[in-house]
Every structure is written in structure tokens, then in C-alpha cells.
Structure 1
């Protein structure tokens, strides 16, 4: 194991197979070829390899692969990922086109320092002030998937939630460190709920308020937790390490993985390898999501 760790630590940033190019954001077009102003801005992630999971002593047991160390995952095809968490403006366009989805499941979360189990207005008023470019919160896992299906319908592309491995690949952006920028907290890079983090925002920050990582992705760490496709299993990495980046499947009511930490969490939660499981039908005001689209090609 010492040799394995030494080899990883000797790798220069970005040498894990990721083709770190200057990111070029784009919007997909509608089916009729018109510009889609309500579609999220996307960026191409290249195919590549990365090490998934935490090093010994730097994470929970559910973050480690066989032997207690990270394991190699190959992203075989390029894909596109939204540069930020889906915003209130973008989600509102979905609701306007699909009013049946306007009332989602009951939302909970911290409001003025106290936990509330019933934020009655849900994503429209999650217990703190938000602008249209803030990430939408109080969205259940099913509602996030419905939004992705709607994008697929209006663009003719294949949108979905990222798998857990795809999410970590994007969040790391070629790094093998605790955070995408290194192993030490840098407050200017992340919005979370402790003094070590950026202190400008009392709750969510606008979706592009802080720095982007090497793939051009904003707030992969901090701001809001993000739903991914996978069912949560504490021993998933040891049981399924050969299957990644495919999503871990399970029953309809399984807990779903959330990644990235949030405005309400400490610096320990915003590590690139940290993973939690949460009830898909029980949204919180610090959980949002981003989407991926199969195929990394960009409209001309």
C-alpha cells in the first residue's frame, strides 16, 4: 500500500488521464434549431481516468475502495456537465412548462439557525432569500430527474443526473487531493458553514459566485449538496469497484447519494470524496443538483 500511495503522490496535477483543456461553455439548441435560453450552460468533460475515493485517514469508511485506498475509474466517453448547479431561473422554466410538478414533496432544513421539518413553500421560499441565479433547493430526487427528462424532450439530447463516479470525476477536475485546489482549505473557493470557508453568504451563493475548477465547473464543493443517480450503499466501493462509472442500482425507495457538501456543512463535508445517502422523497433546503448530457459534442 505504501508503494501505491507514493505513486499517487508523485503524479503531477492532471496526470491521471484527464485531458485538461480550456473549458468552452455552451448551451444546447432546441429541437427546432433555435437557441435554448432556459437550458443550463454546459461544458465538455473529456474521457479519462481518475482515482475515486479517499486516502486512509482522510475520510469515512464508505469512501474507500479495496484495501482501504482509492481505486481507478475510467470515463470511457466524453460527456457534458452543467457548469453550475441548476438555478431557480432554469428550474422555473421547467415548472412553467410542467405545472403538475409545481408542488413537490415537503421540504425541511435549517431556517434562521433552527431546523424546520415543514418549509411549506418549498423551492419558491426555502427559508432564506435567493435570487434567480441561486441554485434551486428543496427539490426531491424524482423532481431532479423529471427536470432532466424535460431537457431531453425540448433539446432532443439525452440529459440525466450524473452517476456518482461521473460527479467525482467532474469535481476533481484532474486532482488527487482533498479539494480540487489542494489539501488545505482556501476560503475563497467554497461556500460552507464554518469560519474556514467563505463567509460572505449566510446560505446559498449565486451559482457562479466563487471560483470554478479546472473543468470550468462551479461549486462542485460546497453551496448545496447535489443529487446523483446512484443508490447509496456504505460498502459500494468494495462491492462494485469494477462496475464504476456505472450507477449503483437498488430498490425504488433506496437512499440516493448526495455529494459535495453545502452552505450548512463544515469543511470536512466539502471534500471531493465525501458521500452521503439521503431519502429521495425528503428534500432539504441545502440539496440541489446539476445535470449531465451524454456526448461531449457542442452545437456549432
Structure 2
């Protein structure tokens, strides 16, 4: 039987740029998963990998144990009725890029659309309040909601910040000054299962199979799936919704703080939903949106919970990046950036500069997203 390899706790934030290390990091991130799709993604990427026999055995065992609960994305079933998010979640070990998955047909239109009840927002701990006081622009933010079932948005002012890190993984370098010339509104929480299901019920989004509750962040969605939701939301509201650019995402995550984490230089308990970050945490899935402290802009789960898709194509470093909020895009781009880490990751992935990549067509159980509305 193959032995699982561990990444030392003091390892670099992101894997070294070698095929072997990418494979090890990929396996570390899924080795305890109960999702058949995670092991299938590994086998598609590494059909002759060192863990291929173990991955096949796990798939066979999971299918035998729960033939009706693990299904291919095309066969996903509808989840529970939506409830509004509370406060937000955390992160895991980073993974290499996975293979492209076949695009799925849209599901048939179900009868009615569920309503999302008003959200609950727990009070932030004293540590978060202190961080909020340190952010110069925090007092200028306001909340927006374009419809009862739409994500709650926080309107952020223009500003500037230093993007990246001089001491983190090579992909986070070199740090550079970025100016956000125009304000924008970004999701206060990651898109939840309830909000996704509203799109499903409208016949515009793919059905998902999940054991997560309606207030949990939606996950196991590809970059392309996220585009379906954004297109539907834009049509529903008459507003322009999209994914944040990578620069917008980090500006929002830092909330005026230039430190390693958005709250300071050291990890603090209960500030992020990750396996080293304190309760509430469970390895099976992320906590409900809003379960952890908000940053100084009032945004939850920018660290941990689920990885978040952004608009940009993947570049191996920040070299040559724009000095404004534009996305780094390219024709026929296949590999997209994900940010923020997930509940499965350790604390080193919770930093504001953490970034990684995935093919835009791949669904992976740790990947979700939050929305941006242009024109603030």
C-alpha cells in the first residue's frame, strides 16, 4: 500500500515549480477527501503518478460505499432551500493545475425560485475591530443588495496598495504598487449554496451534489460555472456582475493592511476557516459563510473557507503586471488564478498574497467564488 507523503508545516507557502512537487502538493490536498471527483482529477492530471493505484482504489471504495451520493458533475442533484449567509469560512494545501473537464448541459428549469431570508452578521471579535480601525478607507464602505436573493455587496472606495510579497512564494513576487482608480462593489461573503440554487431553479446554473447547508459557500464549481451565475445575475438585476480581478481581490482582502495576514503578522485563532486556525473547523467541509471575523472593509472569508476564482489568467509571477486594477488576460486562456486558500489548508495559506491556479473548466471541491459589481 502506498504511503501518503506530508508537506512539512514550515514548507514554502506554495510548491516549488517542479512537476514532482506539484504532484505531491496535489495529492496532499485531496488524500483525505470523500469526493470521487478529486481523485478523478488527480488521475486525469497524473495517469501514471505515484499515487495512481491508491487513487483508483479510493474511487472504487467510495463508489461502492455510496453509489448514489457520489456522482459525476452532470448528474448532480438539487440541495436544500437557501438561507442567508451569516459570517464567513477558511483553506487547505495548494494544488497543481487539473485537466479540463467536459462542459455540461444546462439543467431543465424547475418550478419556483426560493427566497433567501435576511442575513445574520455576528459581531467581529476585538482583534478584527482593531484591524478595522487601522484601515484608512474602511469608514467609506456601504452595503448594497440588488434583490432579495442576490449576494450582499460592500462598496469599496478607490485606493492604492502594495500587491504581492517580497518574502513569500516566487509566484507572489515581485511586490508592486497598484492603484485602484475606480471604486467597485464586492461580495461581503462568498456565493452561498442557497444563492447558487436560486440560479439553478431559474434554469441558468448547473445542479450540484453537496452535503453542505444552504448558508455554506458554494464549491465544486469551475471558473466556467461561475460565468453562468454571473451572466444570470447580470440579466436578473440589470447590473454588470463579474469576477474580481486579482488586483481588486487582494486590495479587498488587505483592507488597508500591508501585513502578512489581513489582521497582522501572526496567525490568530478564529480569524480564518483553516485547519490550523481554530474552531469552528471540520475536515469534511467549510463553515457557513460569516462564521469568522470580517476584515476592515467588512468582508468575510477572504482567508480560508474556499479558494476563490478571479478573472485573471495565471502568470507564474507578478512581473510585468499592470499598475492598475485590470485583469491579466489572454486569448484562449485556459488556466485561471484562484486566491485565498481553503478550509483544508494550513495557516501559511491564509496570507493576503497567497495565489494559485486551476484550469478554468475543472470543478474541484475546494473552489468557489465571490462576485464584483462594476460601476461604483
| TM-score normalized with structure 1 length | 0.77
Question: Which residue does 1:46 correspond to in 2?
Answer: 157
1:290 to 345, 367, 370: 370
Rounded Cα–Cα distance in structure 2 between residues aligned with 1:218 and 1:15: 16
Question: Which residue does 1:124 correspond to in 2?
Answer: 209
1:215 maps onto 2:303 in alignment: no
Rounded Cα–Cα distance in structure 2 between residues aligned with 1:231 and 1:178: 24
Give the CA deviation at 1:158: 0.7
What's the CA shift string for 1:146-181, capped at 9, x where partnerless?
A: 211111111111100000000000000000011110
Rounded Cα–Cα distance in structure 1 between residues aligned with 2:334 and 2:354: 19
Cα pair 2:132 2:296 within 8 Å, conserved: no
Give the CA deviation at 1:21: 1.0
Question: Which residue does 2:203 correspond to in 1?
Answer: 98
Question: Which residue does 2:311 correspond to in 1?
Answer: 229
Question: Which residue does 2:321 correspond to in 1?
Answer: 240
Question: Which residue does 1:258 correspond to in 2?
Answer: 338
Q: 1:18 to 1:165 in 2, by over 3 A?
A: farther
Unaligned runs of 5+ in 2: 1-130
Give the CA deviation at 1:60: 0.6
Rounded Cα–Cα distance in structure 1 between residues aligned with 2:229 and 2:343: 23
1:164 maps onto 2:265 in alignment: no
Cα pair 1:18 1:46 within 8 Å, conserved: no
Cα pair 1:140 1:280 within 8 Å, conserved: yes
Rounded Cα–Cα distance in structure 2 between residues aligned with 1:204 and 1:17: 28
User: Does the residue aligned with 1:189 lie in a helix, a strand or coil?
Assistant: coil
Rounded Cα–Cα distance in structure 2 between residues aligned with 1:124 and 1:151: 21
| TM-score normalized with structure 2 length | 0.62
Cα pair 2:206 2:225 within 8 Å, conserved: no
What's the CA shift string for 1:237-283, capped at 9, x where partnerless?
A: 112244x4211112434210000000111111111001101111111
Question: Which residue does 1:83 correspond to in 2?
Answer: 188
Rounded Cα–Cα distance in structure 2 between residues aligned with 1:249 and 1:240: 11
User: Does the residue aligned with 2:348 lie in a helix, a strand or coil?
Assistant: coil
2:171 to 52, 56, 62: 62
Give the CA deviation at 1:91: 0.5
Rounded Cα–Cα distance in structure 2 between residues aligned with 1:154 and 1:148: 10
Rounded Cα–Cα distance in structure 2 between residues aligned with 1:250 and 1:81: 24
Unaligned runs of 5+ in 1: 1-12, 29-35, 104-122
The structure with more radius of gyration: 2
Rounded Cα–Cα distance in structure 2 between residues aligned with 1:212 and 1:96: 30
Cα pair 1:15 1:174 within 8 Å, conserved: no
Rounded Cα–Cα distance in structure 2 between residues aligned with 1:268 and 1:17: 23
Cα pair 1:17 1:49 within 8 Å, conserved: no
Rounded Cα–Cα distance in structure 2 between residues aligned with 1:89 and 1:289: 14
Rounded Cα–Cα distance in structure 2 between residues aligned with 1:14 and 1:38: 28
**CA RMSD after TM alignment:** 2.1
What's the CA shift string for 1:169-196, capped at 9, x where partnerless?
A: 00000000111100100121111123x4
Rounded Cα–Cα distance in structure 2 between residues aligned with 1:64 and 1:222: 21
Rounded Cα–Cα distance in structure 1 between residues aligned with 2:180 and 2:135: 10
Rounded Cα–Cα distance in structure 2 between residues aligned with 1:89 and 1:14: 29
When you count strand as a share of all residues, which structure comes out higher?
1
User: Does the residue aligned with 2:142 lie in a helix, a strand or coil?
Assistant: coil
Rounded Cα–Cα distance in structure 2 between residues aligned with 1:17 and 1:214: 6
